[in-house]
């Protein structure tokens, strides 16, 4: 008997107007690029059930209920009332070995009713980028969607030029977004908002169901999860690139790795997305944007917060005001660990900001600086254009650590040696798309699977780009 996938599809049991039932569109000549067998095992799926035809969307496995989810979203601050999965299909859900419910979704699986005249496909490059970066984030311990598989389609897609096509199979705690709530609220569909809330609570925050005001308890949970997530991003020098409300999950997972990047030389204003001309989603703006997005979620839940309009707004504002202290506490925890500070002192934020300011003024590499502090602090000064700038700060840092220091091993686990440096990601993509050579992709994945370990044989993967290798812009896959 052929192995099966143990589907249990809760989202498909919601009302029909939450989605469009839609199978993936078959592709011409599917070829497996990579299957994440360790993740398949964690999901309780026999890898033998994940055939190339299943992963390409050519075969619908038993128990799957393919659908494209409806959602709206603020994109660069402008509201679009109907977006939805324009090139993605939720194949179904499984409950993993730890009892956690997980979505299995195809990305690049063909047009849907939400495609808005687009082809619904994905180019190979963006599929490989999302595979690399999402799996690196998982290795860092950051909440994230995961890559289960990548398949080449044997077809071409047109993105200014013809490019090889691919399908990514993505795993998520769910694909419920701030924009999912906005979709129904914008239509005045209070019953749908309530049904979505009940579903999201059951899936992500069951304790909220027992609270006096479940909607408020759920919203406070989303605020806390997002505050913690953004602090983790900043601790890695990560820039999401397109923090639209349709790209923010209520689960608190990082999702939709489009024009994302990890900065090299520290710059709080760093922007890599080719379409973020005003710097809305710059590195240092991400906490503010997260809070703005959460305000949009609060707007959809106002009638469920309280009976009276004035009370609704007051409750929402009070809950939203909780973001800043939660984020600040999480940010301090992240950077205290990176600096090896075992105790909490009032001037910790000043010490951290002083270092960051000196790094910005001296083009110091973000990842290498913090890694050096954990392994060989004296070597960090060479990363500064003016080494004396580091010396002035280091004296204060050593005095602060004398009050209570974490072991170097703990510091190393807070500051990776390896990140998905932009030029290395592009190198892997170029090899795959121009020469059908997936060796660099596989090597990069292997290095990034152990980001906190020193890997002398792969030393070049820790190095910043040379001037001629620098990637100054990243692109969305659509």
Active-site positions read: 246
Name, in order, each residue with C-beta under 8 angstroms of 192's C-beta and a sequence gap of 6 or more: 15, 17, 18, 184
Instruction: Give me the half-sphere count of Cα atoms (radius 13 Å) on the Cβ side of residue 121.
Output: 23
> How many degrees, rounded to 5, is the angle at CA 138 between CA 53 and CA 266?
125
Report d(CA 31, CA 366) in Å as an integer. 38
> How far is Cα of residue 174 from the mean position of the Cα atoms in its chain?
13
Asked whether 189 and 73 are in contact (CB, 8 A), the reply is: no
Cα 385 from Cα 343, distance rounded (Å)? 31
Neighbours of 438 (CB within 10 A): 18
Residue 459, Cβ neighbours under 10 Å: how many? 11
Alpha-carbon distance of 84 to 73, in angstroms, equals: 9
- The bridge status of strand 161-172 relative to strand 146-159 is antiparallel
Non-local CB neighbours of 399 within 8 Å, separated by 6+ positions: none
Q: Percent helix, strand and coil across the chain, each rounded to 5?
A: 50, 15, 35
Strand partners, 239: 261
Q: Tokens for 427? A: 């190198």
Three-state SS at 141: coil
Q: Phi/psi class of residue 127: alpha, beta or left (left: φ > 0; alpha: ψ in -120 to 50)? A: alpha
């Amino acid at each position: 008997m052929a192995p099966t996938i143990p589907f249990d599809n809760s989202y498909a049991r919601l009302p029909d107007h939450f989605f469009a039932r839609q199978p993936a569109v078959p592709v011409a000549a599917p070829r497996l690029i990579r299957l994440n067998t360790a993740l398949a095992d964690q999901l309780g799926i026999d890898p033998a059930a994940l055939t190339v035809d299943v992963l390409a969307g050519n075969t619908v496995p038993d128990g799957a209920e393919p659908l494209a989810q409806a959602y709206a979203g603020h994109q660069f601050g402008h509201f679009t009332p109907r977006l939805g999965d324009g090139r993605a299909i939720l194949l179904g859900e499984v409950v993993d070995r730890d009892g956690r419910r997980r979505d299995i979704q195809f990305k690049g699986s063909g047009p849907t009713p939400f495609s808005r005249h687009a082809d619904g496909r994905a180019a190979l490059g963006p599929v490989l980028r999302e595979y690399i970066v999402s799996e690196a984030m998982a290795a860092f311990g950051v909440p994230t969607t995961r890559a289960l598989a990548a398949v080449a389609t044997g077809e071409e897609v047109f993105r200014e030029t013809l490019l090889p096509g691919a399908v990514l199979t993505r795993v998520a705690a769910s694909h419920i977004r701030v924009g999912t709530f906005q979709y129904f609220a914008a239509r005045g569909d209070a019953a749908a908002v309530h049904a979505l809330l009940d579903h999201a609570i059951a899936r992500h925050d069951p304790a909220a169901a027992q609270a006096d005001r479940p909607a408020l308890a759920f919203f406070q949970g989303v605020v806390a999860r997002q505050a913690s997530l953004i602090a983790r991003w900043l601790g890695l020098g990560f820039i999401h690139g397109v923090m639209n409300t349709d790209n923010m999950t209520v689960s608190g997972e990082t999702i939709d790795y489009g024009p994302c990047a990890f900065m090299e030389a520290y710059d709080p204003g760093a922007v890599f997305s080719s379409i973020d001309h005003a710097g809305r989603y710059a590195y240092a703006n991400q906490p503010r944007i997260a809070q703005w997005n959460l305000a949009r979620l609060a707007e959809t839940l106002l009638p469920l917060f309280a009976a009276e309009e004035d009370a609704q707004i007051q409750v929402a504002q009070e809950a939203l005001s909780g973001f800043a202290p939660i984020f600040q506490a999480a940010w301090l925890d992240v950077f205290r660990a990176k600096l090896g500070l075992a105790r909490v002192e009032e001037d910790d934020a000043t010490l951290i900001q002083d270092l960051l300011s000196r790094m910005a003024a001296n083009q110091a590499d973000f990842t290498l600086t913090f890694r050096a502090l954990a392994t060989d602090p004296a070597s960090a000064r060479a990363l500064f254009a003016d080494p004396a700038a580091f010396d002035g700060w280091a004296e204060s840092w050593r005095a602060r650590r004398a009050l209570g220091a974490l072991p170097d091993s703990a510091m190393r686990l807070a500051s990776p040696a390896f990140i998905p440096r932009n030029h290395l990601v592009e190198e892997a993509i170029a090899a795959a798309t121009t020469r059908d050579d997936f060796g660099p992709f596989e090597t990069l994945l292997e290095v990034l699977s152990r980001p906190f370990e020193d890997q002398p044989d792969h030393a070049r993967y820790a190095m910043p780009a040379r001037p001629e290798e620098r990637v100054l812009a990243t692109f969305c896959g659509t």
